[in-house]
Structure 1
Amino acid sequence: MELLHSVVYGICVLFPVLLFIKVYHALFDPLNQYPGPFLARYTNAYGGYYAIKKCLHLTTYQNFQRYGPVIRQAPNRLVFNTVTALHDIYLSPTVTKGEAYRSSQLRAKYPSIINVIDRDQHRRKRKYIGPALSARSMRSFEPVMGEQIDVFLKALLDSARAGYTLNMTERCQRLGLDIIGLLSFGYEFNTQTQEPFRFLPGIIDAMSWRISIYMQIPLFKFMETPLLWIGKKQVIKFGDTITSIIKARTAKPKDAHYDLYSMVADLIGKGQDGLYRGELWPEAILFIIAGGTTTATAMSAMFFYLAQNPIAYATLASEIRSTFASADEICSGPQLTGCKYLRACIDETLRMAPPSLTILWREAEADRKEPFIVDGHVIPRGTQVGISLYSLLHNPEYFPDPFTFSPERWLDEQDDEGPPSVMRKAFAPFLIGDRACAGRAMAYLEMSLTLARTYWHFDFEFAPGEAGNLGRGKAGGVYGRGRPDEYQLDDIFVAAHQGPNLVFREREEGGKIGVKAQ
């Protein structure tokens, strides 16, 4: 009876509080003027539900079609779909990452460069870690990257000669992991040729999915401990891998490899004047998650869209095969830079399939004096705002016919020396501002070299039969997945995907594989 009385008492106390909250939201909440799904007014569970379904990017796009260019997606969150809002939010010097990012920090003592909220701490991290991903750094790292691309090409050659199908998600992820392992800590994962570390993509996807859910519905973070217990073996395996990577590299001389560690080794243990020792862990994990999967998404999507667009396929093949006299010449430099259609294909793929699908939440700093205005809207203090890159990059106001793969839309942009067009201003697959992705140079180099060398040595097409449909939408598909010509992505903070399944044919003019980047 005492327990029953306690329960009744708790309900009697809690009910008026909940009723007050609901009445307040219904009558006085300053965000009531913004349209959006009914449930989103009262609970973060709306976004959380679609994060669990891995389709929040598609649901957000559909809501923009229904409600207009700004929608309320949670009690204190607004999502915008305009280029003006993009610049107002991400270029403002007095806007920082939203509280949602605290839910992405999981168990690390120190946040990584991607989820640290404090601007000064981010600036410090970027100062020391950013140079490893710069264009200058990529020129030094290119020979190592080139060797891994050659391993990738040899796998394509084996498949061409044996006549079997390749799932490009698997191949591109392995290439990405092998490259980022070497760039971060000079560590050889060798996932392209050996089995032991091929478990990493699955763990990375599971970790990213948890982060995506927690960011949309922070209360769900209480599930972290039971989830870790359920996946205890995989968690231990991943932790042991990171530990072995760091121990193996720190046991070697600083200059044993050209990698991130060689650039920060002298700074470790210097605290605010460098890096705390514990900061190496979250940055190692970030490098593997971001560097090993995001570029793989773009490359997998690029193979998909080129395989299903014969004109774009033939135009790119002609450009690559007429620009270079041999595979030896395919390296960074004026010739590769001059491949305008290659760059157009990469940009169009990044538009169609942005590697990061999550809404990148921001809010005004606590000591901001002036009003926070986004696209003409005065944002109440404590409100988180963001852009859905998937929706913005498919906004027909900036990208006509947005679900059509059309590299040609970028060609005039490359030759225009005037101010950027509204399309170029809206093109932000790596985001903009001081929190933009530091891996832009690496991504463009890896994609350019991989695709150019693939076209030099091979022709490719979809696998025959049902296998060739992997990665496609299905007519009548729910949650926005009804476009057969769209490469399907799952929103798990970054993007998860499968396919396409391709078959490759060796070109007689392709020559021998195994040329190192110069």
Structure 2
Amino acid sequence: MAQSPYEAVAPYLSLGRVLLLSCAGWLVFKILQALYNISPLHPLSKVPGPKLAAATYWPEFYHDVLLTGRYTHEIKKMHDKYGPIVRINPHETHCADMAFADEIYAIGGRKRDKPIHQINGSAVGTTNGFGTPDHDLHRSRRVPVARFFSRAMIARLEGDIHDLVQKLCDKLLAEGSKATEGDGKKKEPFDIAHAYSCFTSDAIFSYSFGEPLGLLSRDAWTPNFREATLAVLKPVFIFRFFPFLIATSRMGKHLVPYLPPDAALLIRTLQIDIPSRVYKTKHDLDAGISYDRPTVFGDLLQSELDESEKNPERLADEAVAVVGAGTETTSWALAVITFHLLSQPAILDRLRAELLTVVEDPRHLPAWTVLEKLPYLGAVIQEGLRLSYGVSSRSARTPTEEDLVYRGEWNKKPMELVLPRGYAIGMSAAITHHDERIFPDSYSYIPDRWLDEKNEFRKDVAHGMMAFSKGSRACLGKNLALCELHLALAALALRVMPHMRLVDTTQEDIAYDHDMFVPMAKSGSRGVKVLVELANGSIPSRTFNPVVPLPSSGPDADATRQGEPSKAQGAGQASRTNLGRPRCSIMSGTWNDDLDPRLGIITPVGLPLGIITTSSIFLFFSLLFTAIRSHVRRQDRVFGWDDGLMVAGTISHVASVSVGIAGQLTGIGTRDVHLNQWRFEESMKIHTVWLLAYSLAMTLIKASICITLRRIAEAKRSLRIVVWVLLAITLVSFIAAFVGTAVQCIPFEAHWRPYLVAQGDAWCAPTVIFIVLGYIATVCTIVTDAALVVVPGMLLWKTQMKMQAKLQVMGLMSFASLASLITVVRIPYVQKYGGLKDRHYWCAMIVFCSIIESSIGIIASSFPSVRRFVRRLRNNGTDPTENSCQPNTDDIITFGGGGGGSGGASSKHQGRGSKPSRSAFHNPTDKGISLTTVKGRTQGEKWERLNDGDSDKRDLLRKESVKGIRAQYTYTVEVEEDTDGSVDARSKSRRSLE
């Protein structure tokens, strides 16, 4: 019997032989693959570089894994030998020419993927924005996170960073005030990078999640994230070559009880605390619970991302990437800058001199937008970023839809290379930041290289920076990092560095030695060791004293020169002596009495700027629509009481918007920490005036709308009663709001000077009364707006009009009800009047919603006239829906009021000395609906009954000698005969909308 193929080879299929054959097969495959990689058939064959690196990944593995992150040094040697473009592995090239950076890191619609080989080396996975390979998916994931780190959002949340900066300085100065140890040993120096790591960790958590980690609140600088982060980053290069091992990093949360304190804190935070926060935020949002303060979780969960992208586990990975990118890179930059400032006192002195031109109290720094305008401070920071590199590991991109063409020069000869699509090309900050053509003497710390002869920032030098990467995948947290650096460095230079000195620290302790995704100094480096030493062993006393403008002459000036307080200063001191740190009980507001009292008008950013811009736009359209309405109504000779009230309401609205904008410039929309006493009082004064102006404006606007409704409902007694009730409600709510605001505090100035109440010099009603008045006004507004939908609907529903025409008219007349949507949005903020914190900030939201509400009321109620005006413009001054014949002179009484008819038949039928007719037929609501009284038929007078279809026949058009109704109008007449045979007729008429 013949053997089967299996039986024939079975004796040779031992386990050892199978493994040997498998290894031999794999080795043959790799050899063939390496030969292909260096053959002319490979798309990268023309790119210069060492053949071994082109053939296999082994050189990269040797330098990055076995020698620990030193392949960047090898790449630098390749550039020195082969030129600006080199091939560093079989599928990737590297560029050292910054002139080509804009092609590699393109923006706009030029797609750039991120190579998976690089993502594996960051250990962040592919579920977050940083590790997303695909260009389009990355873009959709980046948008909501980028919005959270925008300049506008930073301006909104900057106050938290200010607080943490001062906390950092206080803790550093406390180091200098510590007494010597009990055994007589001197204080030990500490690594300033650990202190900065505590600061940046607290800052990114406070900014992103609404509360800090609390590292700065601990007694010591440990535990912190720095050492733990470096420990976690050690295996990243192994992950690059063996990506299946990344899953093992998820096991850390199970080992927390057995880890050192630093590592346990990091793992617990990243793998336990952050995911828990995501699930809690999602649960709260699903339950309808909203947060006053934005968080990165809330923004992502409420963004327009696909639901699959809002998976809590993915969002937790996104947050981990944000935290990881926002801690060690910024803290190391601060450490490098600190080393150079302490080792070069002349640079520190120049920096302090520039800072003192804008900083009057280092405990209360100006806004980031002010500090970033200081040229030398910016130069110091940029030079520190250049030598700290940000992420030092190479950053590659893969062009997917285009070949890149490099044209440059090497060895004084022109060169051109075509880099095919689908293959990665990258750059490294650790190499480009030492391009001697851009940064001469590049290893030296020279801030002046960033400034030209006019002391202005050099954009050509800035183009050589890679600290935040470039292009569509540039660092999301760039704005936040720069904000932290400006604020921290300003406070440190003025408060701490004069008392700080380096201890056993040299240039080698901060010089770049190798990569672990972030730059690392040589093995065995002690870090940036410093000591804080105070002259008398105590924290320096406050160097800033609140000042009021000093008089230039007179007895107050003389007293001031002699060292005595002026009357103005004395009053201020007295008030503070009586009240201590003022905390306002009325309206539950506060101000910061440590803030410079000379600070006045606020430069609007964030919420105040948005309110000013939006209010101005709505005010423009309100004025425009009211002007058009008045013009059309006067032209039609139907200008009535409702129009006059709307004009008055618009004028009051102008006052309301103007006062509201003034409030944004003095403190409304600003957090308590940025309010001194002047800002607090001035903004509250303006806000009180705004409340009165707004109440008057809304009352006039609503009254105008109610009168329009009353005129429409003339023929319906029940509806007239409803409208009268609405008008009464409007007036009562106005009186309640206006009078309640006016008499809530006695004297009136106690509204903005709450300390008068604390001193017993004033009285104010409980805040809850004011809140109740706000709710009453809100309810009245919603009821009035609802009537704008109900009343026109009841009137139009039974009329002989096409359904399309009914809906058009109802839509026009109920458009103002949209204001109710804004009113509903405003409801939660009314309660903020009773809050204990940031009342001025929440008042801005009320102002914002109220101004939009008033504007919509004005615009919507004027919309029919604007519509008619636009029709006339399109038809050379005539409305095609208007009657081309002479006005009807029968006794048809419309709800427009006004004078008599305009010429034509009207004048012919009136003879000399005769009583004029009440009005020619003019429908003031855009020739829409008219419920009017028609003169009844007298005895002996014959009327002809017309069908609906007959009314459109041309032969029934009215002639001069024949009385009747023009074909353009259709009447339904309800005839009621009295006992004496006389007839009373009520008619409903409509004008064709076609």
| TM-score bin, normalised by smaller chain | 0.7 to 0.9
Q: Is the 8 A contact 2:389 2:430 kept in 1?
A: yes
What amino acid does structure 1 have at the position aligned with 2:474? A
- Identity in percent: 19
Structure 2 Cα separation of the partners of residues 8 and 275 of structure 1: 48
Q: Does 2:106 correspond to 1:91? A: yes
Q: Does 2:226 correspond to 1:214? A: no
1:183 to 182, 207, 213: 207
Residue 223 of structure 1 corresponds to 245
Q: Is the 8 A contact 1:133 1:442 kept in 2?
A: yes
What amino acid does structure 2 have at the position aligned with 1:504? V
Q: Is the 8 A contact 2:195 2:221 kept in 1?
A: no
Structure 2 Cα separation of the partners of residues 181 and 203 of structure 1: 17
Q: Is the 8 A contact 1:178 1:192 kept in 2?
A: yes
Q: Does 2:59 correspond to 1:46? A: yes
Q: Does 2:131 correspond to 1:115? A: yes
Relative to structure 1, the CA distance from residue 38 to residue 310 in structure 2 (aligned partners, 3 Å threshold; closer, same or farther) is: farther
Structure 2 Cα separation of the partners of residues 424 and 191 of structure 1: 34
1:500 CA displacement: 0.8
Q: Deviations over 1:479-500 (max 9, x none)?
A: xxxxx7x534642223356621
Residue 47 of structure 2 corresponds to 34
Q: Deviations over 1:466-510 (max 9, x none)?
A: 3x34xx42xxxxxxxxxx7x5346422233566211123458576
1:213 CA displacement: 4.3
Q: Does 2:503 correspond to 1:503? A: no
Q: Does 2:392 correspond to 1:357? A: yes
What amino acid does structure 1 have at the position aligned with 2:174? D
Relative to structure 1, the CA distance from residue 107 to residue 85 in structure 2 (aligned partners, 3 Å threshold; closer, same or farther) is: closer
Relative to structure 1, the CA distance from residue 325 to residue 7 in structure 2 (aligned partners, 3 Å threshold; closer, same or farther) is: closer
Structure 2 Cα separation of the partners of residues 277 and 166 of structure 1: 39
2:174 to 138, 158, 177: 158
Q: Does 2:251 correspond to 1:245? A: no
Say which is worse superposed, 97-106 or 304-313, in terms of deviation: 97-106
Q: Is the 8 A contact 2:148 2:299 kept in 1?
A: yes
Secondary structure in 2 matching 1:58: helix
What amino acid does structure 2 have at the position aligned with 1:345? V
Structure 2 Cα separation of the partners of residues 43 and 424 of structure 1: 36
Q: Does 2:332 correspond to 1:297? A: yes
Relative to structure 1, the CA distance from residue 432 to residue 373 in structure 2 (aligned partners, 3 Å threshold; closer, same or farther) is: same
Relative to structure 1, the CA distance from residue 307 to residue 267 in structure 2 (aligned partners, 3 Å threshold; closer, same or farther) is: same
Secondary structure in 1 matching 2:420: coil
1:164 CA displacement: 4.5
Structure 1 Cα separation of the partners of residues 225 and 332 of structure 2: 15
Say which is worse superposed, 224-233 or 425-434, in terms of deviation: 224-233
Structure 2 unaligned segments of length 5 or more: list them: 1-11, 179-186, 257-263, 408-415, 546-593, 596-671, 675-994
Secondary structure in 2 matching 1:373: strand
Residue 477 of structure 1 corresponds to none
Q: Does 2:442 correspond to 1:402? A: yes
Q: Does 2:471 correspond to 1:433? A: yes
Q: Is the 8 A contact 1:269 1:277 kept in 2?
A: no
1:115 CA displacement: 1.4
Relative to structure 1, the CA distance from residue 260 to residue 231 in structure 2 (aligned partners, 3 Å threshold; closer, same or farther) is: closer
Secondary structure in 2 matching 1:426: coil
Relative to structure 1, the CA distance from residue 251 to residue 128 in structure 2 (aligned partners, 3 Å threshold; closer, same or farther) is: same
1:99 CA displacement: 2.8
Q: Does 2:88 correspond to 1:73? A: yes
Residue 348 of structure 1 corresponds to 383
1:255 to 260, 282, 291: 291
Residue 168 of structure 1 corresponds to 192
Say which is worse superposed, 128-137 or 42-51, in terms of deviation: 42-51
Structure 2 Cα separation of the partners of residues 256 and 38 of structure 1: 60
1:244 CA displacement: 3.4
Q: Is the 8 A contact 1:363 1:385 kept in 2?
A: yes
Q: How many residues align?
A: 493
Q: Deviations over 1:295-348 (max 9, x none)?
A: 112111111221222321221122223432222552215642332111100011
What amino acid does structure 1 have at the position aligned with 2:337? M
Residue 198 of structure 1 corresponds to 223
What amino acid does structure 1 have at the position aligned with 2:112? V
Q: Does 2:337 correspond to 1:337? A: no
Say which is worse superposed, 435-444 or 408-417, in terms of deviation: 408-417
1:94-105 to 2 correspondences below 5 Å: 94-103=111-120
1:178 CA displacement: 0.6
Q: Deviations over 1:337-362 (max 9, x none)?
A: 33211110001111111111111111
Secondary structure in 2 matching 1:495: strand
Structure 1 Cα separation of the partners of residues 246 and 344 of structure 2: 43
Q: Does 2:405 correspond to 1:373? A: yes
Residue 411 of structure 2 corresponds to none
Residue 463 of structure 1 corresponds to 502
Structure 1 Cα separation of the partners of residues 499 and 512 of structure 2: 20
Structure 2 Cα separation of the partners of residues 224 and 409 of structure 1: 42
Say which is worse superposed, 169-178 or 508-517, in terms of deviation: 508-517
What amino acid does structure 2 have at the position aligned with 1:224? I
Secondary structure in 2 matching 1:254: coil
Relative to structure 1, the CA distance from residue 15 to residue 167 in structure 2 (aligned partners, 3 Å threshold; closer, same or farther) is: closer
Residue 322 of structure 2 corresponds to 287
Q: Is the 8 A contact 1:304 1:487 kept in 2?
A: no
1:227 CA displacement: 6.1
1:413-424 to 2 correspondences below 5 Å: 420-421=459-460, 423-424=461-462
Secondary structure in 2 matching 1:412: coil
Relative to structure 1, the CA distance from residue 463 to residue 13 in structure 2 (aligned partners, 3 Å threshold; closer, same or farther) is: closer
Residue 73 of structure 2 corresponds to 58
Q: Is the 8 A contact 2:393 2:428 kept in 1?
A: yes
Relative to structure 1, the CA distance from residue 250 to residue 377 in structure 2 (aligned partners, 3 Å threshold; closer, same or farther) is: same
Structure 1 unaligned segments of length 5 or more: list them: 474-483
1:209 CA displacement: 4.0
Q: Does 2:154 correspond to 1:138? A: yes
Greater gyration radius: 2
Q: Is the 8 A contact 2:85 2:95 kept in 1?
A: yes
Structure 2 Cα separation of the partners of residues 27 and 118 of structure 1: 29
1:149 CA displacement: 1.2
Q: Is the 8 A contact 2:372 2:486 kept in 1?
A: no
Q: Is the 8 A contact 1:456 1:510 kept in 2?
A: no
Structure 2 Cα separation of the partners of residues 57 and 331 of structure 1: 40
1:379 CA displacement: 1.2
Q: Does 2:25 correspond to 1:13? A: yes
Say which is worse superposed, 334-343 or 119-128, in terms of deviation: 334-343
Relative to structure 1, the CA distance from residue 155 to residue 212 in structure 2 (aligned partners, 3 Å threshold; closer, same or farther) is: farther
Say which is worse superposed, 248-257 or 286-295, in terms of deviation: 248-257
What amino acid does structure 2 have at the position aligned with 1:42? A
Relative to structure 1, the CA distance from residue 225 to residue 121 in structure 2 (aligned partners, 3 Å threshold; closer, same or farther) is: closer
Q: Does 2:307 correspond to 1:271? A: yes
Q: Is the 8 A contact 2:34 2:56 kept in 1?
A: no
Secondary structure in 2 matching 1:27: coil
What amino acid does structure 2 have at the position aligned with 1:23? L
What amino acid does structure 2 have at the position aligned with 1:214? F
1:105 CA displacement: 7.6
